[in-house]
Structure 1
Amino acid sequence: MHISLHGLVRGSDIELGRDADTGGQIQYVIELARALAGLDAVERVDLLTRRIDDPRVDDSYRSEEELLGADGRARIVRVPFGPRRYLRKERLWPYLDCFVDLALQYVRKVGRLPDVIHAHYADAGQAGARLAALLGVPFIFTGHSLGREKRRLLMGQGQQEAQIERRYHISRRIEAEEHALDLASLVVASTRQEAEGQYALYDNHKHRRVAVIPPGVDIARFRPAGKGDRVDDCGCDIARFLRHPRRPWILALARADERKNLATLVKAYGAHPRLREQANLVIVAGVRERIGELDKGAAQVWRELLELIDDYDLYGHVAYPKQHAPDHVPCIYRSAAASGGLFVNPAWTEPFGLTLIEAAASGLPVVATDDGGPQEILRHCRNGLLIDPHDAEALGRSLSDALSDRRRWRLWSQRGLQGVRQHYTWKGHAEHYLRELARISRQRQRRRVQRSRLPTVDRMLICDIDNTLIGDRESLVRLSQVVAEAGDSLAFGIATGRRLDSAVRVLKEWGAPVPDVLITAVGSEVHYGTGTQADHEWSQHIDFRWDRDAIIETLRGLPGMRLQPASEQRRHKVSYYADPVRMPGVPAIRRALRRRGVHVNVIYSHQAYIDILPIRASKGLAVRFVADRWGLSIDHVLVAGDSGNDEEMLIGHSLGVVVGNHSAELERLKGLKRIYFAQATHAAGVLEGIEHYQFLGRIRQPRYD
């Protein structure tokens, strides 16, 4: 499963350069999905992105699925999270948790777990890391463009940190990248400079495994001109701009983004009279109808370019077409190569540079920024020059010099073709990628990492720990065998008043089954797997109207109530020892808190403890939240308990079991149709309940009279 959330993602006619969010990353994830699906070892590739229903964009972005090949092994899946309209990436952050929930529903619909989740860019990194942790599957991250490096460059250009923060939400982006990197089993980078320089700016980088796997290029689309190819008309009507259309082209193909530094290129060309006589400048920077309809950044870039063209009086020397289709791009490269021209990338920073290998595959030599990806591409292909993107005068001289030596131009053209075939094919990329995945798989097998069964199960058993699950070792062994034999059809969980570390410890001591879900601290916390992955959605959900200081102040001095030690207090739980003789009744405690304006759940158990929880929190509510989150019907959930703090999870439409050694607080539940009072105690009572409901076969649902 690949995740790439922003921009406009589709399999054909990709609108590269439409805006700052629809660039090389989109091309990369589409080509990678196709390349992986072409390998025998890969059964299926899903690329999850955002569904968009907006009259400003094409209807294709509202379709739920799009196949990326006739065999159906790769597909785009569009998830409808957040508003329906198209949003720039900086506005997606509030909706990422919605994506995670809907992606879980999609996994359940598929009916199997992905073997790996690979997230692209910071927004998908944050969401993908959480999804992978919930599912217990390996997580891979590719940043594409990293926030720390971007902030460093922008500040180097004189922008203030506060300004950068307002425009790009850069601190949130960096924290999302840090979170993704914390959970990643592997980071995929395009260049060694990116791996060793840019990722090194992040915390804990020394302990992170980074694989350098350069992207590929479709050499069937991007190739030199052959017999019968027309290179004089690519559908863009470039010739109409030019006084001498047969002169070599200096081609720049990039988004209208200030980082692409197109203004410096125009200055370099305009200030160099000989270069103006040697070649035409062709700038293909996205598509536009009217500059005023572009986003603010792109409009500003175009206004600056047009002012420079006017200042240097470059009319007849510069082509800047308003429209081009994706299918025109290979022809544009071939036309530039046929003219004896150059491809130039003057960007301030370039993480990789897909356009450079597209140009090389077309036989077009390159002049590129001495930053990031171009350094390695030129080292492999030896098909051009590296330049300082800040020095317009030197850039002009380099372009003129590169065009002057025709023998060297032909050598560069041939080297580029050879270098691409040797280093930059998608088949080679995909094969290298799978070798890295095999290493991750072997490491996880050695560590015995548990994958979640929650997306595939159709029923769930939830047990309290003390005096329910544990207390009789012999019956616990029998219950553990039953859970193991049920396999992937049954999820097992615990719901306890214990804190997480205490619950994990006692389960290990007793040899209990490893839970798929842990509801701890009387339902105020939910974790998955071995307890390392908290359900942050639950924590946010129960934070509603929670005021622990007001609780402690209100109950201070009440007779028969004493705060438990700090080790037993949790973020969403205030716990007391209770003297049943001296304490006021539970209704009186609730009344005192309500009069203070504090709305909570008060849980009284074992005639000795009182736990104050948020109004939305309890074991029962947590059980229902987990069932809903993972798409389980509540009547396929069996809960077992023994005391008052289990009452709320026992009642309702779930199937309840009260073990034989229960406390007196639960006697009042006798007679309820969906609660079975077992004769056997501890885990034997749970087994009796499983048998009563035929829970591992065709479940017997009690009927009301």
Structure 2
Amino acid sequence: MHISLHGLVRGQDIELGRDADTGGQIQYVVELTRALAKLDRVARVDLLTRRIEDPRVADDYRREEEPLDEAGRARIVRIPFGPRRYLRKERLWLYLDCFVDLALQYIRRVGRVPDVIHAHYADAGRAGARLAALLGVPLIFTGHSLGREKRRLLLGRGQDEALIESRYQLSRRIEAEEHALDMASLVVASTRQEVDSQYALYDNHEHRRVAVIPPGVDISRFHPAVKNERVGNCVHGIERFLRHPRRPWILALARADERKNLATLVKAYGAHPDLRERANLVLVAGVREHVAELEKGASRVWRELLELIDDYDLYGHIAYPKQHSADDVPCIYRGATASGGLFVNPAWTEPFGLTLIEAAASGLPVIATDDGGPQEILRHCRNGMLIDPHDADGLGQALSDALADRRRWRLWSQRGSHGVRQHYTWLGHAEHYLRELGRISRRRQRSKASKSRLPTVDRMLICDIDNTLIGDRGALAKLVKVIEAAGHSLAFGIATGRRLDSAVRILKEWGAPVPDLLITAVGSEVHYGANPQADHEWSQHIDFRWDREAIFETLRELPGLRLQPASEQRRHKVSYYADPTRMPGVPAIRRALRRRGVHVNVIYSHQAYIDILPIRASKGLAVRFVADRWGLSMDHVLVAGDSGNDEEMLIGHSLGVVVGNHSPELEHLKGRKRVYFARDAHAAGVLEGIEHYRFLGKILQPRYD
């Protein structure tokens, strides 16, 4: 499962350069998805992105699914999170948790947990890390561009740090990148420079978890012109700008983004009279109708470019078409090659540079920034030269020299197309990618890591631990065999007053099954999996009106209550020992708290303990939250308990089992249709309840009279 959330994602005619969010990352994830689906070892590849319903963009982006291959093994899946309209990436962060919830629903509909999740860019990194934790699957992360590097470059250009933070919210982005790197089993980078100079800036960077896999290019689309090939209407749309259209093209193809440094290229060309007489400049910088209608960054770039064109009086020497399609791009490269021209990438920084290998595959020599990806591409292909993007004079001279030596131009052209076929095909990329996944799989097998069953099960058994699950080793061993025999149709969980570490330890001591779900601290915490991962949405959900200090102040003077040790206090739980002969009673405790404006749940259990929880927290509420999160109906959830803190999860539409050794606090539940009082104690009582409800077959649903 690939996740790429921002920009405009579709399989055909990708609108590269339409805005700052629809760039090379979109091309990369679509092509990688297609390439992986062609390999026999891959059964299915889903690319999850955002569903958009907006009259300003094409209807393609509102389709729920879009196939990417004829075999049906690759598809784009659009998840409708956040507002329906198109949003720039900085405004998507508020809705990433919604994406996670809806992605879980989609996985449940598929009926299969993905074997790996690959998140692209910081926003998907945050969401992908959450999904991977919930599902117990490995995470792959590709940053594409990184927040720490962007901050470094902006500060280096003299921009104010507070203004940078206000505009780009880089602190949030960097924290998301750190978290994704912390969770990632593998980081896929395009170049070694990206690893050494950019990922190395992060606290969670580890070289051993990074694989350098250069992106590929579709050589069926990008190739030198064959003999007598006509390069198409796209070239005529460029030639109409030019007084001498047969002169070599100096081609730049990039988004209208300040980082692409197109203004320096115009200055280099305009200030070099010999270059103006020898060649034409062609700027393919996205699509536009009116400059004023572009987003602010692109509008600033175009206004500067148009002023420079006017200042240098470049009319007739420069082409800057307003429109082009993805299908036009290969023919634009071939047109530049046929003219005997050059491709130029003068970006301030370039993590990879997909356009460089597209140009090289088309036989077009390149002049590129001496940074990141271009350094490695030219080392492999030997088809051009590197320049300092800050030096306009040096760039102009490099272009003039490259055009003057026709013998070297032909050598660069041949080397470029050969080098791409040797180093930069999508098939080679996908094969390398799968080898890295194989290493992850082998490590997981050695560590006995397993995926969550929660997205695929159709029923769930949840037991309290003390005096319910444990207490009779022989009965527990029989229950373990029953759970194991049920296989992937049944999820097993625990709901306990114990804290997480105590619950995990006691389950291990008694040989209980490893839970798929752990509800601990009387329902105030929810975790999943063998290496428990917290459900942060539950924590956020129950934080509503929670005021710990007011609880301590209110109950400090009440008789019969004594705080339990600090080890038993949790972020969302305050626990007391209770003396029933002296304490004022649960209703009186509730009234005292309400009079102070404290909104909580008060849970009395075993006639010895009082737990104060947020108003939204309890075992019962946690069970229902989990069932809803994973798409399970409550009548397919069997809960078993023995004391007062189990009451809320025993009542309602779930199937309740009260074990034979229960506390008197539950006696008043007798007679309820969906609460079964077992004769047997401990795990034997749970087994009796499973049999009563026929829970592992066609479930018996009690009917009300």
- Offset at residue 329 of structure 1 (A): 0.5
Which residue number corresponds to residue 374 of structure 1?
374
Which residue number corresponds to residue 626 of structure 1?
626
1:513-662 → structure 2 map (5 Å cutoff): 513-662=513-662
Which residue number corresponds to residue 485 of structure 2?
485
Which residue number corresponds to residue 85 of structure 1?
85
Matched AA of 1:485: A
Q: Aligned to 2:552, what secondary structure does the other structure show?
A: helix
Which residue number corresponds to residue 333 of structure 1?
333
Q: Give the Cα–Cα distance (whole angstroms) in 2 for the partners of residues 573 and 531 of structure 1.
A: 23
Deviation string, structure 1 residues 271-316 (Cα, Å, up to 9, x no partner):
1111111111000000000000100000000000000111111111
Q: Give the Cα–Cα distance (whole angstroms) in 2 for the partners of residues 241 and 514 of structure 1.
A: 70
- Offset at residue 227 of structure 1 (A): 2.7
Q: Aligned to 2:519, what secondary structure does the other structure show?
A: strand
| Contact 2:108/2:630 (8 A) holds in 1 | yes
- Offset at residue 60 of structure 1 (A): 0.5
Q: Give the Cα–Cα distance (whole angstroms) in 1 for the partners of residues 229 and 576 of structure 2.
A: 83
Decide whether aligned partners of structure 1 residues 306 and 530 sit closer, same or farther in structure 2, where only a CA change above 3 A counts: same
In structure 1, the gaps of 5 or more residues are none
1:390-409 → structure 2 map (5 Å cutoff): 390-409=390-409
Deviation string, structure 1 residues 359-386 (Cα, Å, up to 9, x no partner):
0000000000001100000000000000
Decide whether aligned partners of structure 1 residues 210 and 193 sit closer, same or farther in structure 2, where only a CA change above 3 A counts: same
Q: Give the Cα–Cα distance (whole angstroms) in 2 for the partners of residues 402 and 161 of structure 1.
A: 40
| Contact 1:236/1:321 (8 A) holds in 2 | no
Which residue number corresponds to residue 16 of structure 1?
16
Q: Give the Cα–Cα distance (whole angstroms) in 1 for the partners of residues 393 and 86 of structure 2.
A: 40
Which residue number corresponds to residue 364 of structure 1?
364
| Contact 2:235/2:335 (8 A) holds in 1 | no
Q: Alignment RMSD, CA only?
A: 0.8
- Offset at residue 138 of structure 1 (A): 1.2
Which residue number corresponds to residue 502 of structure 1?
502
In structure 2, the gaps of 5 or more residues are none
Which residue number corresponds to residue 698 of structure 1?
698
Q: Aligned to 2:206, what secondary structure does the other structure show?
A: helix
- Offset at residue 233 of structure 1 (A): 3.6
Deviation string, structure 1 residues 430-475 (Cα, Å, up to 9, x no partner):
0010111111100000000021000110000000000000111111
Which residue number corresponds to residue 384 of structure 1?
384
Matched AA of 1:603: I
Q: Aligned to 2:252, what secondary structure does the other structure show?
A: strand
Q: Give the Cα–Cα distance (whole angstroms) in 2 for the partners of residues 401 and 604 of structure 1.
A: 85
Q: Give the Cα–Cα distance (whole angstroms) in 1 for the partners of residues 536 and 411 of structure 2.
A: 58
Matched, 1:150 2:150: yes
| Contact 1:500/1:531 (8 A) holds in 2 | no
1:318-357 → structure 2 map (5 Å cutoff): 318-357=318-357
Matched, 1:317 2:283: no
1:68-217 → structure 2 map (5 Å cutoff): 68-206=68-206, 208-217=208-217
Deviation string, structure 1 residues 384-437 (Cα, Å, up to 9, x no partner):
000000111100111101101000000000000110000000000000101111
- Offset at residue 235 of structure 1 (A): 5.8
Deviation string, structure 1 residues 469-491 (Cα, Å, up to 9, x no partner):
01111111111111111000000
TM-score under structure 2 normalisation?
0.99
Q: Give the Cα–Cα distance (whole angstroms) in 2 for the partners of residues 381 and 81 of structure 1.
A: 43
Matched AA of 1:636: H
| Contact 1:8/1:15 (8 A) holds in 2 | yes
TM-score under structure 1 normalisation?
0.99
Matched AA of 2:197: G
- Offset at residue 622 of structure 1 (A): 0.2
Q: Give the Cα–Cα distance (whole angstroms) in 1 for the partners of residues 100 and 88 of structure 2.
A: 19
| Contact 1:542/1:616 (8 A) holds in 2 | yes
- Offset at residue 204 of structure 1 (A): 3.0
Matched AA of 1:380: H
Q: Percent identity?
A: 85
Q: Aligned to 1:396, what secondary structure does the other structure show?
A: helix
Which residue number corresponds to residue 473 of structure 1?
473
| Contact 1:120/1:144 (8 A) holds in 2 | yes
Q: Give the Cα–Cα distance (whole angstroms) in 2 for the partners of residues 240 and 19 of structure 1.
A: 25
Q: Give the Cα–Cα distance (whole angstroms) in 2 for the partners of residues 399 and 142 of structure 1.
A: 33
Q: Give the Cα–Cα distance (whole angstroms) in 1 for the partners of residues 232 and 108 of structure 2.
A: 52
Q: Give the Cα–Cα distance (whole angstroms) in 2 for the partners of residues 397 and 207 of structure 1.
A: 39
Matched AA of 1:687: L
Q: Aligned to 1:467, what secondary structure does the other structure show?
A: helix
| Contact 1:690/1:696 (8 A) holds in 2 | yes
Q: Give the Cα–Cα distance (whole angstroms) in 1 for the partners of residues 586 and 530 of structure 2.
A: 35
Matched AA of 1:527: H
Matched AA of 1:621: L
Which residue number corresponds to residue 264 of structure 1?
264
Q: Give the Cα–Cα distance (whole angstroms) in 2 for the partners of residues 560 and 515 of structure 1.
A: 36
Which residue number corresponds to residue 33 of structure 1?
33
| Contact 2:460/2:491 (8 A) holds in 1 | yes
Q: Give the Cα–Cα distance (whole angstroms) in 1 for the partners of residues 41 and 448 of structure 2.
A: 23
Deviation string, structure 1 residues 238-295 (Cα, Å, up to 9, x no partner):
1111111111000000000000000000011111111111111000000000000100
Q: Give the Cα–Cα distance (whole angstroms) in 2 for the partners of residues 496 and 109 of structure 1.
A: 30
Matched AA of 2:229: D
Matched AA of 1:34: R
- Offset at residue 228 of structure 1 (A): 3.7
Q: Give the Cα–Cα distance (whole angstroms) in 2 for the partners of residues 405 and 207 of structure 1.
A: 42
Q: Aligned to 1:118, what secondary structure does the other structure show?
A: strand
Matched AA of 1:699: I
Q: Aligned to 1:466, what secondary structure does the other structure show?
A: helix
Deviation string, structure 1 residues 475-530 (Cα, Å, up to 9, x no partner):
11111111111000000000000000100011111110000000000000000002
| Contact 1:99/1:127 (8 A) holds in 2 | yes
Q: Which moved more, 1:548-557 or 1:459-468?
A: 548-557
Q: Give the Cα–Cα distance (whole angstroms) in 2 for the partners of residues 597 and 621 of structure 1.
A: 22
Deviation string, structure 1 residues 549-578 (Cα, Å, up to 9, x no partner):
111111111000111111111111011111
1:2-13 → structure 2 map (5 Å cutoff): 2-13=2-13
Runs of at least 4 residues off by over 2 Å: none
Q: Give the Cα–Cα distance (whole angstroms) in 2 for the partners of residues 323 and 65 of structure 1.
A: 27
Matched AA of 2:263: A
Q: Give the Cα–Cα distance (whole angstroms) in 1 for the partners of residues 497 and 464 of structure 2.
A: 8
| Contact 2:79/2:99 (8 A) holds in 1 | yes
| Contact 2:449/2:530 (8 A) holds in 1 | no
Matched AA of 1:558: L
1:411-490 → structure 2 map (5 Å cutoff): 411-490=411-490
| Contact 1:518/1:531 (8 A) holds in 2 | no
- Offset at residue 236 of structure 1 (A): 5.9
